């Protein structure tokens, strides 16, 4: 009996570890900025939905929020290549607008992405521009 219990426990642990290591998908995931050179961690973490991205495969639209305004636009995917196009945003004035400006500029420079597990990294050539982590959609709205 102990052998069956040990085998079952090992099987459950193996399955849990295997699913935890799977890569998230770019589309259908809410991505929260975790690291970017021009934006301090305190500004990133001030609100749960600050500096977020959501990609919608059905209409190849991206939407998200900076630390102040919401933005939206088209994106184009070709393998690991990623480009943002025709971006628009609301235009409220807020404190710390330099962080919003840096974030928007970064999106304009993106040419490639990489996903490892639940981490999305955006690149310009081989230079890392920003690192995002997958979050639960409800967590990003709180």
pTM score, whole prediction: 0.81
Start-to-end CA distance of the chain, whole Å, equals 47
| Domain housing 84 | 23-141
- In this prediction, what percent of the chain has a pLDDT beyond 70? 82
**Residue range 68-119, pLDDT digits in tens:** 999 999 999 999 999 999 999 999 999 999 999 999 999 999 999 999 999 9
Residue 17 forms part of a structural domain: no
Residue 91 forms part of a structural domain: yes
**Residue range 15-66, pLDDT digits in tens:** 334 445 588 999 999 999 999 999 999 999 999 999 999 999 999 999 999 9
| pLDDT score of 7 | 38
Residue 116 forms part of a structural domain: yes
The tally of domains found in the chain comes to 1
| pLDDT score of 140 | 58
What are the CA-CA distances from residue 66 to residues 9, 11, 51, 60, 97 (Å)?
44, 43, 4, 20, 9
Sign of the torsion formed by the C-alpha atoms of 39, 32, 119 and 17:
positive
Give the CATH number, domain containing residue 36. 2.40.128.270
Residue 9 forms part of a structural domain: no
Mean pLDDT, the chain, whole residue set = 86
| pLDDT score of 133 | 98
16: number of CA atoms within 13 Å, CB side? Answer: 6
Rounded CA-CA distance 2/41 in Å is: 49
């Amino acid at each position: 009996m102990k052998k069956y219990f040990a085998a079952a426990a090992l099987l459950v642990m193996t399955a849990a570890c295997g699913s935890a290591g799977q890569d998230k998908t770019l589309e259908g995931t809410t991505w929260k900025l975790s690291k970017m050179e021009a934006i301090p961690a305190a500004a990133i973490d001030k609100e749960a939905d600050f500096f977020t991205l959501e990609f919608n495969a059905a209409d190849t639209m991206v939407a998200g929020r900076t630390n102040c305004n919401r933005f939206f636009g088209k994106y184009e995917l070709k393998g690991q290549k990623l480009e943002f196009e025709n971006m628009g945003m609301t235009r409220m004035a807020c404190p710390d607008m330099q962080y919003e400006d840096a974030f928007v500029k970064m999106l304009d420079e993106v040419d490639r992405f990489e996903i490892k597990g639940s981490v999305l990294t955006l690149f310009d050539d081989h230079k890392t521009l920003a690192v995002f982590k997958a979050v639960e959609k409800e967590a990003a709205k709180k």
